[in-house]
Structure 1
Amino acid sequence: MTSATARVRSAALAAGVVGALALTACGGSGGDDASSSAPSASTAPSGNAASPPVTGASAGIQGSWIAGAGGKIVALVVSGKQAGIFQTGGTMCNGTAGAENGAQVFHLNCSGGAKDRTTGRVDSVDGTTLKVTWSGKVGQETYTKAEGGKLPSGLPTVPAR
């Protein structure tokens, strides 16, 4: 395969990820997340009064984040208390993002029973970089903020086959 063909495939892959991000960002009622009637971990009754409730994710982790892992693109999208991961190759996860015991955490359920990114804890976040440690074999993963539906620079390209 020529490098031009690899670039075309990389561009098509990137366009697919951007499309998924745009669809995810447009979903929902458009209203305040607190008024949503959909149940979430943060609204579920707690049987243990000592456990603090999960609250909404901080403004710092809101938005679309992209990482490269093993030649694949991983998109993490956070909107209010909702979070989703989309990985090239088909893995999709969805669930919640919020504060728990003083930390920002993700609790996700993934397609096909994947367990690599089901529980994650935010290690650090700034305007452009988000570091999350996942309880699965992925470990720590570093994401770059995707602004305005555009992919950040420096992502891995799809290897030629």
Structure 2
Amino acid sequence: MRSAALAAGLVGVLALTACSGGSGDEDGSPSAPSTSTAPSAGTSSPAVTGASADIQGSWITTAGGRIVALVINGKQAGSFETGGAMCNGTAGAENGMQMIRLTCADGSKTRTTGTVDSVDGTTLKVTWSGKTGQETYTKAEGGKLPSGLPTALPR
């Protein structure tokens, strides 16, 4: 029952992220995302461009019996773990690699810097710095959880 409630909550999060979009112009046309890659004056950070279209969207995995959602929208990224950390940050190209950089509200360091190893239409592989290592995510389409995730057993 508990995992069913968690899954239901996660579906709500996915539905909200799937519906979020640009505010658009007054004429109803969507606004174009910024593509500026110039770093701010006086910074030594690498220039970050938006994440590739291949990694955009909502991705799900399980880790330690918990569902982990990774959502990438333009340059923005977020990670949500059932019963755990909520993190936000950026996703984009840095030095020829697709990188994900997150900061977690609870100070967790589990998923803070990730490198995209590979991506296809349904699978995203990310290697996180630290003990998390590589995780394989499944694409969540239309705000729905992908098949194969654990569910509550009937009583």
Q: Which residue is equivalent to 2:32?
A: 32
Contact 1:134–1:140 at 8 Å: present in 2 too?
Answer: yes
Unaligned stretches of 5+ residues in structure 1: 1-7
Question: What residue in structure 2 maps to residue 4 of structure 1?
Answer: none
**How many correspondences in the alignment?**
147
Instruction: Tell me the residue number matched to 2:26.
Output: none
Match of 1:67 among 58, 61, 64: 61
Decide whether the 8 Å contact of 2:78 with 2:89 is kept in 1.
Answer: yes
- Cα distance in 2, alignment partners of residues 140 and 26 from structure 1: 29
Give the Cα–Cα distance (whole angstroms) in 2 for the partners of residues 28 and 112 of structure 1: 27
Question: Which is richer in helix?
Answer: 1
What's the counterpart of residue 22 of structure 1? 15
| Inter-partner Cα distance in structure 2 for 1:10 and 1:54 | 37
After superposition, give the CA deviation of every residue in 1:89-132 in whole Å (9 maximum; x if it has no partner): 03100000000011100011002100010100000000000000
Are the aligned partners of 1:72 and 1:158 in contact in 2 as well (CA < 8 Å)? no
How has the CA–CA distance of structure 1 residues 131 and 101 changed in structure 2, closer, same or farther, with 3 Å as cutoff? same
Contact persistence 1:127–1:145 (CA under 8 A) = yes
| CA 56–13 in structure 1, closer or farther in 2 if over 3 Å, else same | same
Q: TM-score, normalised by structure 2?
A: 0.84
Inter-CA distance 46–74: structure 2 relative to 1 (3 Å threshold): farther
Identity across matched positions, percent:
71
Q: Which residue of 2 aligns with 1:58?
A: 52
Residue 46 of structure 1 deviates from its aligned partner by 5.5
Tell me the C-alpha RMSD between the 2 structures. Answer: 2.5
The one-letter code of the counterpart of 1:104 is: Q
* Aligned residue among 129, 133, 153 for 1:139: 133
Give the equivalent residue in structure 1 for 2:80: 86
1:95 touches 1:108 (CA, 8 Å); kept in 2?
Answer: yes
Q: Does 1:123 align with 2:123?
A: no
- CA 1:113–1:48 in 2, change beyond 3 Å: closer, same or farther? closer
Shift of 1:137: 1.5
CA distance in 2 between counterparts of 1:46 and 1:128 reads 39
Amino acid in the other structure paired with 1:45: S
Tell me what 1:11 maps to. Answer: 4
Checking the alignment, whether the CA contact within 8 Å between 1:74 and 1:88 is kept in structure 2 is yes
> Structure 1-normalised TM-score?
0.81
1:52 deviates by: 4.7
**Partners in 1 of 2:38 and 2:110 — Cα distance?**
25
